[in-house]
Amino acid sequence: MNIAANPVVQADETVYLKDYQKPTYLVDSVHLDIQIFEDYTIVNTVMSMQRQTEGPLVLLGRDLELKQIKINDHVLSSAQYQHNEEQLVILDCPDLFTLETSVHIHPETNTMLEGLYKAGDLFVTQNEPEGFRKITFYPDRPDVLSVFTTRVEADKKYPILLANGNLLEKGELNATRHYAIWQDPTKKPAYLFACVVGDLAVLKDHYVTSEGRRVALEIYAIEKDIPKCHIAMEALKHSMRWDEEHYGLPYDLDNYMIVAVSQFNMGAMENKGLNIFNTSCVLADEEYTTDAAIMRVQSVIAHEYFHNWTGNRITCRDWFQLCLKEGLTVFRDQSFSEDLQSAAVQRIDDVSVLKSHQFPEDAGPLSHPPRPDHFVEINNFYTATVYEKGAEINRMMATLLGKTKYRLGTDEYFRRHDGQAVTVEDWVNALSAGSGVDLSAFLRWYNQPGTPTLHVTEHYDAAEKTYRLTFKQSLKENAKYPDLKAVPIPVAVALFDATTGEQYTLHSNDLFKNHVQDGMYLFDQDEASIVFSDIEQAPVVSLLRNFSAPVHLIFDDSDESLAFLIQHETNGFNQWQATQTLLERILLNNHPAQHYIDALKHTLPNLVNKDPLLASRLLDVPSESYLASRIDQDYLPEKMKAVRDQLIYTIAHDMGAFWKETYQALDPAQQSEFSQAMGERALKNIMLSYMAAQKDKDVFDLAFAQFSDSKNMSERLGALKILVWHDAPQAKDALHAFYVRFKDEPLALDQWFMIQAAHPKLNEAELKALIAHPDYDLGTPNRIRAVSGGLNSRPVNAWSFGVQHFIHLAQYLDEKNPIIGSRLLQALSRWYTLAEPKRSEVLQQLKDVQPSIRSKNVSETLSSMLKA
Ligand code: TRP
Ligand code: ZN
């Protein structure tokens, strides 16, 4: 068939939200028969099709060897359909018919980790967003929901045969082959289809829902990783309870399975009843993984579980609505994690991610609204903006509504849309209708790109005893989105008595509630002001408490006020925010360091025992990468590093014996609470790094002892970093010992690679040696990310020999794994901020690679980057 003449294939590869059309056919049910052989796999599909609108039947399919198509048992000749690289179109179909297709596919050579692929000895699927079309011809779009029955057949050397739903039948074909038949009773889009074939061990448990349903819980992993699955299992049960209590949402199937895979593009995938997880997001054990990784496992388990309602039962109409499921689910997992540990520290960590990833993304050439209105490759839109900014929008609405009204709103959403594929508008409408509060203005947040800037000025009137705050908002112009409007910004505010440090009771009719301590003001115009009365003397104000809106705050308060807030703010998040604002002024605008150091001296001695985790965060010095994201031109990585090193040196010396004394006083092993122990471990590692900055003569012995004596991975790695990054005499031995101990533990080995790639004085030859190491593996995204991430955390290196590293990777992965290639290339997206001559050099390198790029993923990213 002549492909170019096919009217259904578009020449322009850009897809637009405004062009959305309903699918011409729905699929009432689908039966898949997947027969796995060593060098190919047969997929036979039977679908009951039902016409919904006029037009041809469009089935999507990629890299499929088509063997046969039948309609109602009649084999079609090639003249009866049109087939190209992307789709199969059948022009005249009845309104109701059975379609059968047979294809061959090649999971054993699939390196893209999309569709059905072989990871080591395991066959697994990844179908979100558009992977199912690599398994069979199908209307692979989220607004086509169907009941799936799956037969999986394979050699008996693969004892585990899994698919979504309930096991109907299991049996043997002959001496070597066996099969299983699964049926998922709930209608779902194809991106939630999953199957797994391999040899795995399993951890079993169960959970009884609020409705009395007994759910079998199973986590599958390789045998030796099973002991590392208990934390995930506990987190799963906890998530199930949490969703019942906070959203009234129980689980709906009789089983819930999780499979751990080491070759996986992202964190995890919420396939209905059969989640597939990157091992990094399910294996958790103090001996093998860090505290941060343990926290991440719990939040990702919750995230994928929460998708069962926000994503699976209510799904997206089209991929432009991705943030409908992701933004809401991230907000839900963040709320869960806030209940799990210190809420303030969880918020600090979530905002850190937002500020260090989403803000820069939104300030650069890849900026897009949380709900974009066009894309070339949807895989490029699994971004910090869709996930993290999407979560912030939901948080703002939830904060404004308060617990009770928010719950009325979410109840209405689940009541209206269960079983449907919906849009962001449907969500905001249901939330408004249920709560009785019109939230439609928040749609602007979904549709506009860029981080708004909130300018605040203050005025105290001593005669009237009034205090006025004036707000202005602005958005950076964006050629693609010309008519930007003011967004609703919830501003949480507190006032403090500058002498006593006491919090004022607020008297202002402009607030949601009057005569309270914690005020909430909704600023939804271009400019407005609010007045507080009965203020006895000029107060210290704390704005955007808990980061009540994802904006850049410009407020010309004094360094003294920030130091005051570090000491007196009762909101832990804003205590931390004050340290960060102050440190940014010190590092970027040459302010003196003394206010920060004095505030630490007042605050830390008590806090290290009371709340070691928060104390550790107050010692965060913004990273070089974050600081770089705040510089828009003439960025000099070496200069930035020197300024930051100098500050650390100053803090280290000014605090004298504090570091060593605290290091010796802390004993995490004595703490029974995990978060207390985690806080003490974090602090001890920071203490070591300041002692190293002081050139304390004992620091390497202390670090080596910690490294050798501890069985805890956070302690081990913290000490190893000190030794390696400061070129201690023990560094080589420690690295070797770590390798010998953990060479068969891929997640620990990732850390070993990361630490070396993140050496501050790494050179090109050392980087080459690292990626020539036999354990370096371009087929495992975790391993690539370990090295690239380590390198990227040192901008001086990343912007010298690192540039070629990222370009080569993108070029290599362009063919092998374009999803990851495109992501890694983004490390260079801020090339245009560099000072000359580097700026032109990197630009030239990017331009040179452009003609060789084939994938939509990498080419869309590269061409956006070059438009900067
Ligand atoms: N829906 C997944 C999540 O957020 C995201 C995801 C997992 C994904 N694997 C993917 C997205 C592969 C794109 C490609 O939980
Ligand atoms: Zn998700």
Supply the DSSP string of 407-474, one letter for each residue. HHHHHHHHHHHTT-EE-HHHHHHHHHHHHT---GGGHHHHH--SPPEEEEEEEEETTTTEEEEEEEEE
The tokens describing 831, both together, are 């090339």
Distance, in Å, from the CA atom of 549 to the CA atom of 800, rounded to the nearest integer, reads 36
Residue type, 404: T
Distance, in Å, from the CA atom of 15 to the CA atom of 615, rounded to the nearest integer, reads 48
Nearest alpha carbon, ligand 1 atom 5: 269
304 lines ligand 1 (CB under 6 A): yes
Summarised one tens digit per residue, pLDDT across range 462-515 is: 999 999 999 999 999 888 888 899 999 999 999 999 999 999 999 999 999 999
Angle in degrees, 0-180, between the axes of helices 291-306 and 713-725, rounded to the nearest 10: 120
Whether residue 587 has pLDDT greater than 90: yes
Cβ density class 386-405: b for 16+ within 10 Å, e for less? bbbbbbbbbbbbbebbeeeb
Residue to mutate (ligand 1; options 126, 269, 308; most atoms within 8 A of CB): 269
Question: What sign does the dihedral 852-857-863-865 (CA atoms) show?
Answer: negative
Summarised one tens digit per residue, pLDDT across range 399-431 is: 999 999 999 999 999 999 999 999 999 999 999
Percent of the chain past pLDDT 90, that is, above it, reads 97
Averaged over 36-47, what is the pLDDT?
Answer: 98
Q: What three-state secondary structure class fits 667?
A: coil
Give the residue from 740, 625, 614 showing the smallest Cα distance to 680: 614
Q: What three-state secondary structure class fits 677?
A: helix
Ligand 1 midpoint to CA 266 (Å): 6
Distance, in Å, from the CA atom of 294 to the CA atom of 705, rounded to the nearest integer, reads 24
Question: Which bound ligand lies closest to the C-alpha atom of 781?
Answer: 1
Backbone angles phi, psi at 525, to 5 degrees: -120, -175
With beta carbons less than 8 A apart as the criterion, state whether 113 and 264 touch: yes
Distance, in Å, from the CA atom of 698 to the CA atom of 847, rounded to the nearest integer, reads 50
Task: Say what the pTM is.
Answer: 0.98
Whether residue 747 has pLDDT greater than 50: yes
Backbone angles phi, psi at 765, to 5 degrees: -65, -40
469 lines ligand 1 (CB under 6 A): no
Lookup result for tokens 């925010």: 577
268 lines ligand 1 (CB under 6 A): yes
Distance, in Å, from the CA atom of 743 to the CA atom of 746, rounded to the nearest integer, reads 7
Strands 177-188 and 146-155: antiparallel
Closest ligand 1 atom to residue 819 Cα is 14
Distance, in Å, from the CA atom of 868 to the CA atom of 864, rounded to the nearest integer, reads 7
Give me the pLDDT at residue 679, please: 98
Give me the pLDDT at residue 482, please: 87
Tell me if residue 244 is catalytic: no
Q: How far is CA 310 from CA 414, 538, 600, in A?
A: 9, 47, 42
Give me the pLDDT at residue 5, please: 37
Ligand 1 midpoint to CA 268 (Å): 6
Q: What three-state secondary structure class fits 756?
A: helix
Give me the pLDDT at residue 378, please: 97
* Residues in contact with 685: Cβ distance below 8 Å, sequence separation at least 6, in sequence order: 714, 715, 718, 719, 721, 722
Catalytic residue among 100, 218, 304, 745: 304
Q: How far is CA 14 from CA 19, 377, 533, 630, in A?
A: 11, 8, 55, 31
Summarised one tens digit per residue, pLDDT across range 641-675 is: 999 999 999 999 999 999 999 999 999 999 999 99
822 lines ligand 1 (CB under 6 A): no
Summarised one tens digit per residue, pLDDT across range 763-818 is: 999 999 999 999 999 999 999 999 999 999 999 999 999 999 999 999 999 999 99
Give me the pLDDT at residue 12, please: 59
Averaged over 153-167, what is the pLDDT?
Answer: 98
Residue 175 — pLDDT band, cuts 50, 70, 90? very high
Note the Cα 497 to chain centre separation in Å.
Answer: 39
The tokens describing 598, both together, are 């004095």
Residue to mutate (ligand 1; options 127, 128, 383; most atoms within 8 A of CB): 128
Phi-psi region of 172 (alpha: psi -120 to 50; beta: other; left: phi over 0): beta
Distance, in Å, from the CA atom of 351 to the CA atom of 818, rounded to the nearest integer, reads 29
Residue 738 — pLDDT band, cuts 50, 70, 90? very high
Percent helix / strand / coil, the chain, rounded to 5: 45, 20, 30
Q: Tell me the pLDDT of the chain averaged across its residues.
A: 97
Residue type, 83: H
Residue 188 — pLDDT band, cuts 50, 70, 90? very high
Give me the pLDDT at residue 622, please: 97
Give the residue from 192, 206, 271 showing the smallest Cα distance to 236: 206
Whether residue 1 has pLDDT greater than 60: no
Give me the pLDDT at residue 480, please: 85
With beta carbons less than 8 A apart as the criterion, state whether 524 and 488 touch: yes
128 lines ligand 1 (CB under 6 A): yes
Q: Which residues pair with 446 in a beta bridge?
A: none
Summarised one tens digit per residue, pLDDT across range 143-157 is: 999 999 999 999 999
